[in-house]
Chain A
Amino acid sequence: MVPITHYLILSGILFAIGTAGVFLRRNVITLLLSVEVMLNAVNLSFVAFGRQFGTVDGQIITFFVMTVAAAEAAVGLAIVIALFRHRESLSPEAFTNLKW
């Protein structure tokens, strides 16, 4: 059998990759995709812990995370489209009007 530590280490690796993507990429859409990778890493550890303790709570929290991810993607992409109309650019460097 696979020990739970394998799943947790995999979850940590995925979360680190998602974080690296947020810092490395210069494209707002790819930043949102990296956030999705991080959310899925957390989902994996929820389901692994739920399996370890023999309950369905981990899977149910996963559904809520997926719902929030869907809402986040819809609103986030709508904001990206609205920003693109103003600036004709997808680089986060272009959206620094509030920066002092």
Chain B
Amino acid sequence: MAFDLIAFYVFAAITVLGALAVVGQRNPVYSVVAIVGSFCGLSGLYVLLEAPFVAVVQIIIYAGAILVLFLFTVMLLNATREDGAEWDRSHPYYRPGPTRIGGVLAVVLLGQLLWAMTHIADTGGIGEQQPAASSVRLLGRVLFTDYMFAFEVTSILIIAAMVGAVVLAGRKGN
């Protein structure tokens, strides 16, 4: 078995197990820590896809900044475990109507996915037709020329988010 296939399966297993740990248990602190592991696995997958800059940004921005914000909020609000008995009593999962509709939709979606997977053409390994475009130099040039407008709009978005967060979370009166 080729080395990159083994590496793919290892990183994919880390990512999927981390994501399952995020949604599979009830303590939000464990969820945040598990999602850091999941994103580290995803970063390894980006390295396999020859996108090293995205891999580094994934670690620094996601694991380093966004999830620290989540962890701060979890600890600031003293978020405890979800109550299992309350979950069993009130969750819509136990109502018959939504369960039936959701089950039908899930089966339809699964059928479509299986159909798409069996009808896909075999293109060989990823990137065998094209050389990788992975240099940071090329990335920067395309970002600051072709995507100039989107880049500038992003700065407005960040300012709006920053002002919004301060206004929403700030205490009134002082």
Interface residues of A (CB under 8 A from B): 1-7, 9-10, 12-14, 17-18, 20-21, 23-27, 29-30, 32-34, 36-37, 40, 43-44, 47-48, 50-57, 59-60, 62-64, 66-75, 77-82, 84, 90-91, 93
Contacts and interface: CB of A to CB of B under 8 A. Distances in A.
Contact of B19 (A18, A26, A51, A77): A18
Contacts of B130: 52-55
The dominant DSSP class at the B interface is helix
B79 A27 contact: yes
B76 interface: yes
A27 B42 CA distance: 25
Contacts of B138: 56
Given A12-B113, A59-B53, A71-B158, A81 B35 contact: no
Interface of A is mostly: helix
Contacts of B150: 64
Nearest to B77: A84
Interface of B: 2, 4-5, 8, 12, 15-16, 19-20, 22-23, 26, 28, 31-32, 35, 38-39, 42, 45-46, 48-51, 53-54, 57-58, 61-62, 65-66, 69-70, 73-74, 76-77, 79, 82, 86-87, 90-91, 93, 102, 113, 117, 120, 122-133, 138-139, 142-143, 147, 150, 154, 157-158, 160-162, 164-166, 168-169
A85 to B, nearest CB: 9
B173 to A, nearest CB: 13
B87 A74 contact: no
Contacts of B166: 78
A18 B49 CA distance: 22
B127 A51 contact: yes
B127 A32 contact: no
Contacts of A52: 123, 126-127, 129-130
Contacts of A80: 73, 77
A5 B117 contact: yes
A73 B139 contact: no
B39 A78 contact: no
Given A74-B165, A84-B77, A90-B77, A21 B28 contact: no
Nearest to B74: A29
Given A40-B38, A55-B133, A67-B154, 11 more contacts: A10-B45, A24-B93, A30-B28, A33-B35, A47-B51, A54-B129, A56-B138, A70-B61, A71-B161, A74-B161, A75-B161
